[in-house]
Amino acid sequence: MIEIRNVSKGFKTTKKQRNEMEVPKKIIDAVSEVNLVCKPGRIFSLLGPNGAGKTTLLRMVATMIHPDNGSISVNGFDTVKESQKVRRSIGFLTGGTSLYLRFTVEENIKFFSDLYKIEKDEYNKRKKQLFDILGINDFANKKFGKLSSGMKRKAFIAKTLIHDPEVLIFDEATAGLDVITSRNIVSVIKDYKNRGKTVIFSTHIMGEADLLSDDLAIIYKGKIVFNNTFESFKENMETRSLESEFIKYVSDEL
């Protein structure tokens, strides 16, 4: 369960950034007064165009950054006061992150499992399961830096799931991936949902949200402009396609 209550986050801007963005403010609001609840056994999609505040919000959920105002609890733990407990219960997969290039896939996974203090037997069991499901065995002993982007993403998924987290956070996890690897990620997300875990994923592609979502929130310029079930989103559509309906929410003419 993830509960986000009245969360705001601002970032200091440099003079250069202010000139480039034509924003006079020294602090810009990346996320503003956001309220969301992601329930276990359901897939929550956070949809928004680039720069809408999705990554900032998910980074706050993952304890990488702290909110300026409001609070976030993950599995009942506060992200600021009990950040280590939060990190122990989440699996965070983003499109832009990587593992250690000079380490093999197995060494990478072992390193992170040591940080999660997973017992040796449990580690071996989970490693075998994940390597079989994701088809990692063939390249488990290859250096991460020598792998193709699809292999890298599979290895990263294995790292994300090695401690069997209660909450999965996927930030643009399928961006730039081929169909097969994307399908792998989608199947992982569905599997976690079926096991009663909480899943939140961000995307700017409506098709992805359509494929997976139980609940949907649309974020635009740091503010939540839609927050309900995906069913209600579809039912109340004023335009012909999901894409057009999404654009309606993230358009300044609204």
Partner 1 sequence: MKIIFIIFKKEILDILRDTKSVLVMLVLPLLAFPLLTQLVTKLSISHKNESETRLLKVGLISNNNAKQLATLLQERKDININLNIDLNKLNKYIDDKKSDIIIVVSKDFDTQTINNFTGNIDLYYKTSSESSITKNRIIQIIDEFKETLLNNRLKEKGLNKEFITPIKINHIDIASVKEKLGEYLGRVVPYVFIIFCFMGASYPSVDIGVGEKERCTIETLLTSPVNRMQIVMGKFFVITFTGLVSACLSIVGAYYAFSNATDLNKDVLKGLVKIIEIKSILLTLSLLIPLCVLFASILLAISIWAKSTKEANSLITPFNFIVFIPIVIAALPGVEFNSITALVPVLNVSLATKEIIAGTMKITLLIKVFASLFLYAAASLYFCTKWFEKDDIILRGI
Q: Which residues bind partner 1 (CB under 8 A)?
A: 11-12, 59, 62-66, 83-85, 87-88, 90, 92, 94, 96-103, 111-112, 114-117, 159
Nearer Cβ to partner 1, position 90 or 216?
Answer: 90
Nearer Cβ to partner 1, position 24 or 96?
Answer: 96
Nearer Cβ to partner 1, position 65 or 133?
Answer: 65
Nearer Cβ to partner 1, position 57 or 90?
Answer: 90
Shortest distance in whole angstroms from residue 50 CB to partner 1: 15
Nearer Cβ to partner 1, position 173 or 250?
Answer: 173
Residue type at 41 in one-letter notation: G
Shortest distance in whole angstroms from residue 111 CB to partner 1: 5
Shortest distance in whole angstroms from residue 115 CB to partner 1: 5
Nearer Cβ to partner 1, position 130 or 209?
Answer: 130
By DSSP bridging, strand 2-12 and strand 43-47 are unpaired
Shortest distance in whole angstroms from residue 64 CB to partner 1: 5
CA–CA distance, 94 with 74 (Å, rounded to integer): 18
Nearer Cβ to partner 1, position 11 or 249?
Answer: 11
Q: Is 71 exposed, middle or buried (0-12, 13-18, 19+ CB in 10 A)?
A: middle
Token readout for 39 is 């329930």
How many other CB atoms are there within 10 angstroms of residue 23's CB atom?
Answer: 12
Shortest distance in whole angstroms from residue 171 CB to partner 1: 9
Q: Judge contact between 205 and 229, C-beta under 8 A.
A: no
How many other CB atoms are there within 10 angstroms of residue 118's CB atom?
Answer: 19
> What are the CA-CA distances from residue 177 to residues 24, 54, 171, 185, 206 (Å)?
37, 19, 13, 10, 16
Half-sphere exposure of residue 58, counting CA atoms within 13 Å on the CB side? 30
Shortest distance in whole angstroms from residue 75 CB to partner 1: 13
Shortest distance in whole angstroms from residue 49 CB to partner 1: 20
Alpha helices, H only, 176-241:
179-194, 206-212, 230-235
Q: What are phi and psi of 107, to 5 degrees?
A: -65, -40
